[in-house]
Amino acid sequence: MDSGRPPVAAAACADATIVIIGAGQAGGWAAQTVRKEGFAGRLVLIGDELHPPHERPPLSKAVLAGEAAPESTRLMKPDAFDALALDWRPGARATRIDRTSKRLEMADGTTLNYDKLILCTGGRARLLALAGADAPGVHTLRTIDDALALAPVLKPGGSVVVVGGGWIGLEVAATARKKGADVVVVEAQSRLCERTVPREISEHLLALHRSNGTQIVLGAGVTGLSRDQHGKAVVTLADGSALACDAIVVGIGLVPNDELARDAGLECDGGVIVDARCRTSDPDILAAGDVAVTPNPWVGQRVRLESWQNAQDQGIAAARSALGLEVDYQPLPWFWSDQYGMNLQIYGIPKPAHRVVVRGVPGSESFVLFYLDGDVVKAALGPNAARDLRFARRLIEQRKPVDAQRLADTSVAMAKI
């Protein structure tokens, strides 16, 4: 421990209680970190699912494909989880935060006092605003249970319509094709992943999916969900056409679970607003992961990051902050997606004002797009280029001017730039 700092904050006393709401990746890392930093008090972990903390990326891939057991996604082995000595409450829900008396009201009618509260409530899959949006045969993919419910349809002869050509939709489509099902992806925008990647990458994804036999319909709004006389689920599009299938998978984004925070009067804006120490507008309440809206200097504004990296690292940061330790959480956003064996990675946030430098040939299996502000790299992304992109991350973090010509020259090793 650093000298010159009070050794233990009030919340770190052995008779203190830290409550974490949400037992996903952020909540799981927060719990592990609180203990790792030596907190000996009561630690309560509340999860609305029955599963212990786990990572979600495999749920749309290996778990959905039946290649990995749901248990393989767990953050901790059972003995490590037991060693945290948690008051673990699976299948439980908090219904109200009483900030004045620092007390939670639970759905089962009990109450729970806290000294520090960490909100890791994540989000839920957005549903279509249409009749039948939650009917049988209409799936979303967020949880282990979602993956297990969809998996049986993904087989030769099975058919799936994916509504939404974003990351979840495309990963589900890739897994479904791999398992031999027929797949149609319906996207309302004119290109795939329009919100998160530039046009070159959208085109790369489109070609990748089409070459793997996935049918993609762009610029197509969904106007109806129904069931035909054969028991098939039916998606009706704005042009009047209808697609019948065994399962509809809706992947149109995430709704942050910030209701508890909003009802408690915490500052929210499409999620719970926190500072670089992960504190909400109430300093005894922190937030981390998919639900948290955080100022990010790399983005230049407040942002809610929906990523594996953020769930882990902000969960760790919030736990440390709750214990009074030094925290300055300003991550360079990092995101990846795996589809048909292709690994796409993104560092930073590409912006229209940036100058684009291309390394390699767009459309080929592996290439990198760099986004520069003047001569400084601000973002980089590309398929099957993990190693080059790892060097790109260093360039972004160093904020040093680079020679764009050398950056574009594949004969110059990234390590030498």
Partner 1 sequence: MTTTTTQWIDAGAQDSVPLDDVIGVAVDGRQIALYSVDGDVYATDNICTHGHALLCEGFLEGHEIECPLHQGKFDVRTGQPTCAPATEPLRSYPVKIEGGRVWLAID
Which residues contact partner 1 by CB under 8 A? 29, 32, 75-76, 80, 308-309, 312-313, 316, 334, 386-387, 390
Given phi > 0 = left and psi -120 to 50 = alpha, else beta, which region is 309?
alpha
Distance (Å, whole) CA 365 – CA 58: 23
- Minimum distance, C-beta of residue 51 to partner 1, in the bound complex (Å): 18
Question: What is the residue type of 52?
Answer: P
How far is it between the farthest Cα atoms of the chain? 74
CB of 79 to partner 1, least distance (A): 12
Q: Which residues contact 87 (CB under 8 A, 6 or more apart)?
A: 42, 43, 44, 45
Residue 319 β-bridge partners: none
Closest distance of CB 55 from partner 1, Å: 8
Q: Which two tokens stand for residue 368?
A: 């990198």
Tokens 């952020």 sit at which residue?
26
Residue 32 or 143 with smaller CB distance to partner 1: 32
Nearest residue (CB) to partner 1, 54 versus 354: 54
Give whichever of 140 and 312 is closer to partner 1, judged by the CB atom: 312
* Min separation Cβ 415 and partner 1, Å: 9
Report the candidate in 117, 119, 120, 116 with the shortest Cα–Cα distance to residue 12.
116
What is the closest distance, in whole angstroms, from the C-beta atom of residue 249 to partner 1 in the complex?
A: 26
**Contact at 8 Å (CB) between 121 and 291?**
yes
> Helices 167-178 and 199-211: crossing angle, nearest 10°?
20
Q: Which is nearer to partner 1, 114 or 347 (CB)?
A: 347
Cα–Cα nearest to 365, from 211, 221, 228, 154: 211
**For residues 256 and 270, is the Cβ–Cβ distance under 8 A?**
yes
Give one word for 264, left, alpha or beta, with left for phi > 0 and alpha for psi -120 to 50: alpha
Min separation Cβ 4 and partner 1, Å: 25
User: Which amino acid would we find at residue 321?
Assistant: S
CB closer to partner 1 out of 259 and 397: 397
**Distance (Å, whole) CA 28 – CA 274:** 19
Token pair recorded at residue 99: 């900030």
Establish how many alpha carbons lie within 13 A of residue 163's alpha carbon, considering only the half-sphere containing its beta carbon.
31
Q: Least distance from C-beta 59 to partner 1, angstroms? A: 15
User: Cβ of residue 308: shortest distance to partner 1, in angstroms?
Assistant: 8
Which residue, 28 or 198, has its beta carbon nearer to partner 1? 28
Beta carbon nearer to partner 1, 146 or 313:
313
Q: How far is the CB of 218 from partner 1 (least distance, A)?
A: 32
